[in-house]
A and B are shown apart, each in its own frame.
Chain A
Amino acid sequence: MMKSRDDSEDKLNKALEDVLKGKSPDLTSQDLAEFSEELKPLIKVAAEIKSTCSINASASLKLKVKNRLSLEAEKKKQRVFNFGMLRLFRWAVAPTIIVIVLLISFALVAGAQYAMPDSPFYSVKIWSENQRLAFTTTELGKAELHIVFSNRRVDELKHIASKANVKDIETLSANLTGHLMFVVNTTQKYAAVVPAAEKAPATISGPHAMLEMTPTPIPAPTPAPVQLSPEETTALKRLKSSISNSSDIALAEVKGAIATAPDSVKPAIAQLFQSAEQRCQQALVNLQGY
């Protein structure tokens, strides 16, 4: 029964293949053998469907589709033009973004170097200074940087002194004191290695003459002696020179700022001057043996 059905389907299929190839249904029916009666009408139905559906799409439809495909092709070309290169270099997108972010960061930090305390970028300036300090490994190197930053604070003071903002001046003063305290503490460590006999009396010439007038007694450093390397000695000499040169100019500028500042901020600037002068003097005394 099952075999008979399969045979019938096979015979029908073979006859249909012939009909689809264009053979007449009557001719194909000759090979149907015992299935002829059952399959003949089915082949006729198939032939009728084939004949009914033997239609072609109109020329106008074909033209319409061709035009639509041409439009699509144009669109594709444009898309390839717009995005093809991007897709080609998609591996470069992440590094490019990183480079752009880094460039923007560098530009921001570089631009912030000239920011004043009333600028929104001032915090970037302070942050970048802290980064420079963090990446400086030696104490003496850090101390030199603090001197550089102290000079910046004095420049900033000159800028904001005329604006009569006591709060900004107090902030600046605190920052400046921080820088100078670091220098004093560092120099104090090295003052200990200088033998007492080699110490000459503290004579500070030039604009520091005013420092000599300061009656504040400076305690002599007493810790145990330490052997210094030639590099450290050179760095200490450089630091001393840096403090000496910078403090001359900076203190003069602070004095000038006091003269031009409004009365409301004069006391704050005067206090800053006094504190800075005292710390510079102390650092120089610490380094007098070099």
Chain B
Amino acid sequence: MQSEENVVLRAKNRDVEAFALLYENHFDSIFRYIILRVGNHAEAEELTQDVFVKAFQSIISYEWRQIPFSSWLYRIARNQVIDFVRRNRKVNTTTIDEQISAGVDDPVELAEKWMKIKEVSAAISHLTEAQQEVVALRFSSGLSTAEAAHILGKSEGAIKALQHSALVSMRKLFKE
């Protein structure tokens, strides 16, 4: 088993296999973060691609500082999402696409899954920007409080407070 630092150093030296390993480890969680933020699978696919291409292009400038590599990827993803939201103030409605794998084979079940994602994404869009970030990083990507704090440049206490207030708001929104 290779340490992440070792893999990152190899990827920095243009080792494509090492980058592929990083990609395998983080692709799904980045995709989940983006899909919840943009609520549109086609855009989420594009943005996820862009995140990894950008990471590949600029990994040479990445400095290992005992911080998980995923933090760097999430920062790229976050910037991509911010740019996307800036460009598209009105987010497109989500369409059902059989190409998206939600771990379900049944088209009806898949459609229901996407409807739920759309609802959650729509509800999240009513939160503040910081709350949206915390919800996406914590509950969609499954990051720890410490990781989310590092990515967003906030303290763990602030992340706890944000997730609390975000969940309170989400509960109200779901009730409505």
Contact = CB atoms under 8 A, between A and B. Distances in A.
Interface stretch (B1-9, B47-55, B70-78, B80-88): B47-55
A12 B164 contact: yes
Given A56-B28, A65-B48, A73-B14, A45 B56 contact: no
Q: Of A17, A55, A72, A80, which is in contact with the most chain B CB atoms at under 10 Å from its CB?
A: A55
Nearest to B139: A49
Contacts of B171: 41-42, 45
A58 B99 contact: yes
Given A10-B160, A20-B142, A60-B99, A53 B35 contact: yes
A163 interface: no
Interface string A40-55: 0110011011101111
Contacts of B16: 69-70, 73
Contacts of B157: 6, 9
Given A55-B103, A76-B14, A65 B164 contact: no
Q: How large is the interface on B (under 10, 10 to 19, 20 to 34, 35 or more residues)?
A: 35 or more
Interface in B13-53: 14, 16, 19-20, 23, 27-28, 31-32, 35-36, 45, 48-49, 52-53
Q: How large is the interface on A (under 10, 10 to 19, 20 to 34, 35 or more residues)?
A: 35 or more
B99 A9 contact: no
B99 A68 contact: no
A62 interface: yes
Given A65-B48, A73-B14, A50 B142 contact: yes
A58 B35 CA distance: 13
B100 interface: yes
Interface string B133-162: 001001110101100000000000100110
A88 interface: no
Contacts of B20: 66, 69
B116 A52 contact: yes
B127 to A, nearest CB: 11
A280 interface: no
Contact of B139 (A12, A50, A60): A50
B96 interface: no
A65 B145 contact: no
B120 A69 contact: no
Interface of B: prevailing SS: helix
A61 interface: yes
Nearest to B114: A55
B48 A46 contact: no
A72 B53 contact: yes
A243 interface: no
A8 interface: yes
B167 interface: yes
Q: Of A41, A57, A58, A68, which is in contact with the most chain B CB atoms at under 10 Å from its CB?
A: A57
A287 interface: no
B108 interface: no
A53 B56 contact: no
A69 B56 contact: yes
A13 interface: yes
B66 interface: no
Contacts of A57: 27-28, 31, 45, 48, 100-101
A45 B116 contact: no
Interface in A24-53: 41-42, 45-46, 48-50, 52-53
Interface in A169-209: none
Given A54-B103, A68-B49, 19 more contacts: A9-B157, A12-B167, A17-B144, A41-B171, A42-B168, A49-B135, A49-B170, A53-B120, A55-B32, A55-B35, A56-B103, A64-B45, A65-B48, A65-B49, A65-B53, A69-B20, A70-B16, A73-B16, A76-B57
Interface of A: 6, 8-10, 12-13, 16-17, 20, 41-42, 45-46, 48-50, 52-62, 64-66, 68-70, 72-73, 76-77, 80
10 closest cross-chain pairs (CB), A and B: A53-B140, A42-B167, A58-B101, A49-B139, A9-B160, A57-B31, A55-B102, A52-B116, A56-B28, A50-B139
